[in-house]
Structure 1
Amino acid sequence: MSGQPRWAKTAQQDVIGQDRLARSLLRVIARMPAGSIVAVHGAPGSGRDEFVRRLAWLAGPGRSRTGDVPAGLHPQVLWLDAWSWCKQGHVLSGLVAAVANAIRQPGPSRERARELAGSVSRMRFDGTMPDVPGPAFGSRSVDPVADIARAFSGFVDKVRDPRGGRLLMVIDGAEWLTPGGRWQLIDGMRAILVHQPEIAMVLSLGREAAVEALKSHHGDMAEASAVRILNDLFDLSVTVPNLEVRRIGTLLREYIGNSESTVQRSFGRDALTGLSAAVAHRPLGSPRFLRRLAWRTVLLAEFAAELRAPRVLSEAQWAWVIISERWPDFRRFMIRGGRKRWVELARAVQLMKTGKADRTGALETDPDDPHSSSISRWLSEDLILNDYLRLHAEGFARDGEGIFWLENLMLAAGL
């Protein structure tokens, strides 16, 4: 296990329950034309990052355990963190480096890879005429871009020998690039794959982030135009489904792990049951959010143990812990309004349930306070918060004293 890449160490369990989709996608990738690009999208809470890591693990380090990977894929999986690589040089150079570093006996290929990386870095993607020498890959080059694609194909073949099979490269971290950087990555991928080398690239990128990249290059455009261009750029687009509600609590318990006893000692034997019930809301199913929530809960429990202040928390109090992590601005807005604001919240939610307009807008708005606004504004601007408050607003109003006790504990704990 110590010899596995970093991304593989967190991919050995199917934490989001999408192995069936991952295995199906791998079988399709093995049948697609060489040089294909697969875009993996996913809404907030879908666990897209976990999905692509699991996909790569099933195709590479985990294939000996599962045995479900199609024979047409090479056993070595290449992983590129685009955001990390852009700190070292041009992000497209990372594509070359990922392949070149996988060659078993690099020898003279090392210098050739440096030349190729330099040529790729000089490619232009903004449609302007370069004011410096272009990406010539040889002194007699007539079509340097085609030369780059052929050289990249040669590196791919060196990695594949002698086992054969199609290489799989997974590209993560693209959303952390600027929109212009994302466009260079996407357009550059298409350029170096023009000769259809025996490699498939899986790009983890939200759909909105991909549209932003398009607009950074093409300017503002209609939605239909953006969809058409994306369909031309990507050979297949897959959207990871949202995490199932029933798995959210299970995943949260896994993240809390050995600290479960501490949480129970500070907040009651059924603490994790109450927390799991409060977080069982589909938009809150992001594994990254659940991991942060788990550490927040553990720190709160450890601090309560230090104070010797155990207390059984209600579901409303656990919901407030979730709000403090997911919606910190709303947390400040509610606390600054005092107890009256909790009553107003319950009234506003009740009126929305009955389909009536919110008549609680009488709460004054302070133009100098960015956190001061009416309840109705929060409910109308954030639909996820709206849905969550419909479930717990009445509990907040009933357990105001408990909420303020918990808030003081969180503030003292630095949360």
Structure 2
Amino acid sequence: MYDAVVLGAGVIGLSIALELHSRGLKVAVVARDLPDDSDSVGFASPWAGCNWFPFDESPTSPASIREKRTFSRLAALSKAHPELCERIPFFQVWDGERGDLEAWYKDTVGEYRLLDASRDRIPGSKRYGRTFTSYILHAPRYTAHLGSLLRQARVPLIRRRLSSLDEAYNLPEIGNVRLVINATGLGARSLIGVMDPDVYPARGQTVLVRAPEVRRCIMHTEGFMAVPKPGEAGPPEPAYIIPRPGPSGHVVLGGTYLKDNHSVLPDLSTAQRILRDCYNLEPLLAGKDGRGWEDIEVVAHNVGLRPAREGGARIELELRELGNGVGKGVGVGAAAGAGVGAESTTKSRSKTNKQRQVAVVHAYGFGSAGFQQSLGAAEQVAQIVEGHLKRNGGARARL
């Protein structure tokens, strides 16, 4: 008997599976794409620039709480695996309104300082900025590392494409389970039994380059994730520079955030714009002898589809009933994973004839923040799971 099945093997699903295993639960991971599929365009995790850089402005939002928990655990990872996680200087710069310059995370990160154009050389000659130290991760190697840890712990990673949520409760390799963790990312939009209309792809295009002399992260993200209304001028296009840990000297340059754009083919004009804008922020991308953005050493052009969701990530428990050809569910708990939210019902086709009570914990819709919220999200999901098991007799499978 398994305590739970985790659907999805992106950074969220893998982190949840490891957290549940560390708490003594017997789990299995089922996914269409597995951690080793670093060239797959089917899921976003391997393509991420991957740094800890919050977008939410509130220190008490569910996203910020998950980010703070993740940040607190990255120090140990960076010490144990510097090739996967490294702490480096960050610069956030912008030209628009001065706004509230003090970021909520100023006491979380290290060496936080506001930049003044009258005394500081702000990257890209921007008007405003802040600097601090934070973490970068090597996205494909980190997801492969998580997969390796699960395999070492003898947690099954099963490649299977599911059409409905109900199928996950009775898989041939696992048998009957009563609890599923839905970490399917974009799949939550089409998975029967979920079919969340608020889920959407946010296309991100990046350029992977070799620039070993660049060891700082620079973010010019005015208007990032903003979607202009018809007839309105769009926000400034984002440009960001994210080095990757390790000896390769690789740097991820971005980027775009195009809502509801499903194309996974790189666009040449977009790639050239990214190279130009990032060079303006950091001329060292072209090397000490480089004369312009054309001298940047390009390794690859990449596109990933971020699994975003209107209203932010969904983390909540849903009780369901299988049998008689229809699975019924009722939502329990708010998106923050605490309290009781408004009830919602869903229906989906089931292949079982015997009625039984089951549950699902949804954990999807993290968009651009999957890595920087992953460990905090895993803790949150684990707390929901343990609470559910305790309320339902406390029985656990033996590891």
Q: TM-score, normalising length from structure 1? A: 0.23
Structure with greater helix percent: 1
Q: TM-score, normalising length from structure 2? A: 0.23
Structure with greater strand percent: 2
User: Greater RCO between the two (CA within 8 Å, min separation 6)?
Assistant: 2
Q: Which has the larger radius of gyration?
A: 1
